[in-house]
Structure 1
Amino acid sequence: MGKDKLRKFAEVATFDNVVQLDAGKAYKGTWAEKFFKNQQPIILELACGKGEYTVNLAKLFPEKNFIGIDYKGNRIWRGAKTAIEDGISNVGFLRIQIETILEHFAEGEIDEIWITFPDPQPQDSREKKRLTHPKFLERYQLLLKEGGIMHLKTDNDGFYAYTLEQIAALKLEKVKETTDLYQSTLVDEVLSIKTYYERKYLATSKNINYVQWKFG
């Protein structure tokens, strides 16, 4: 590991807005009350990377709480540091493997979940690693309140098609969808938030897919 990554890992451990690994279990069912010190709704961003969506959503919606989840501490560092520097108090970060998410949040604790440009895991042998595989969707359904919303933004057409197949197979309620977000009528101040990776894709004229759905 390079010196810069080591520095970021060490620094992120000192941030009050970052919870790492098993420490997150202590907040299960009480994130709003214990971590954010309020009663506001909670929105998650999974595989948040540098946390651009988490931080920018928190700026747009101060009446809600946002938690970015990723395993790579050197990536979380950027979003967490920005939130501290900008005084954004309704945002936090949790460093865990997403497979363990039910150990850190209670059933019905979450209002919305965003998945923004995840690793598409294109190999057939890695299908179970895809964040919209049925085993993950089952977890999200448990975490979300009744009527809770799921969002996916991805540049990967194959992963997008795979996700639509899972939504159809499970007979979930698809609310919005487009295979070319920035040429659609759906784009707004929320969907126009751009991550580091999204800006790279757009620079090559890559289309951006988006789908929103509910579990009923």
Structure 2
Amino acid sequence: MGKDKLRRFAEIATFNNVVQMEAGQPYQGQWSAQFFKNNNPLVLELACGKGEYTVNLAQMFPAKNFIGIDYKGNRLWRGAKTAVEEGINNVGFLRIQIENLSSYFAPGEVDEIWITFPDPQPQLSREKKRLTSPRFLEQYKHLLKPGGFVNLKTDNDDLHAYTAEKIAELGLKLHVKTEDLYHSPYADEVLSIKTYYEKMYLKNNKNINYLKFSFV
């Protein structure tokens, strides 16, 4: 492991906005009350990477709580450090494997989920690892409050199409679907938040896909 990664791992251990692994389990069902010390709605960003989307959402919506989730601590470091430096108190980060979400959040605890530019896991043998595969969707269904939304923003056309197929197969409610977000009527202030990698995709004239859906 490089010196930079070691330094970042050491530093995030000192951040009060980062919870790592099993240390997050006692917050299950109590994230807003115990971690954020309020009763505001709770929003998750899965596979948040450097946490750019999480931090920007938190700045836009101070009356909501945001948790960015990823397993790679050296990535979380960037978003966590930005939040500390800028005094953004309604954002936190949780370092866990996303398949273990149900061990950290209670049924009906989450108001909304964002999945922004996840690994598309293109190989058929890795379908179960896609964050919109049925096994993950089942978790989201239980964690979300009734009427809670899932948002998928991706540059990967195949993952977008795959997710749309699963929404139809499972009888979920589709609210928004576009294969070209920035040439659609949906590109509002929230959806126009751009991560480092999204900016790279757009420079290469890559279309950005977006889906918004909920569970019946």
CA distance in structure 1 between the aligned counterparts of 2:103 and 2:41, rounded to whole angstroms: 19
TM-score (norm 2): 0.99
**2:103 aligned partner, one-letter code:** E
Q: Give the fraction of aligned pairs with identical amino acids, expressed as a percent.
A: 69
Q: Which residue of 2 aligns with 1:198?
A: 198
Q: Which residue of 2 aligns with 1:55?
A: 55
Q: Which residue of 2 aligns with 1:5?
A: 5
2:117 aligned with 1:117, yes or no?
yes
**2:47 aligned partner, one-letter code:** A
SS, match of residue 186 in structure 2: coil
Unaligned runs of 5+ residues in structure 1 are none
Alignment of 1:26-175 (within 5 A): 26-175=26-175
Q: Which residue of 1 aligns with 2:210?
A: 210
Aligned length: 216
Shift of 1:28: 0.1
CA distance in structure 2 between the aligned counterparts of 1:42 and 1:16, rounded to whole angstroms: 18
2:195 aligned with 1:189, yes or no?
no
Shift of 1:138: 0.1
Runs of 4+ residues over 4 Å off in structure 1: none
CA distance in structure 1 between the aligned counterparts of 2:177 and 2:162, rounded to whole angstroms: 14
CA distance in structure 2 between the aligned counterparts of 1:130 and 1:195, rounded to whole angstroms: 20
SS, match of residue 105 in structure 2: coil
**1:69 aligned partner, one-letter code:** I
SS, match of residue 128 in structure 1: helix
Unaligned runs of 5+ residues in structure 2 are none
TM-score (norm 1): 0.99
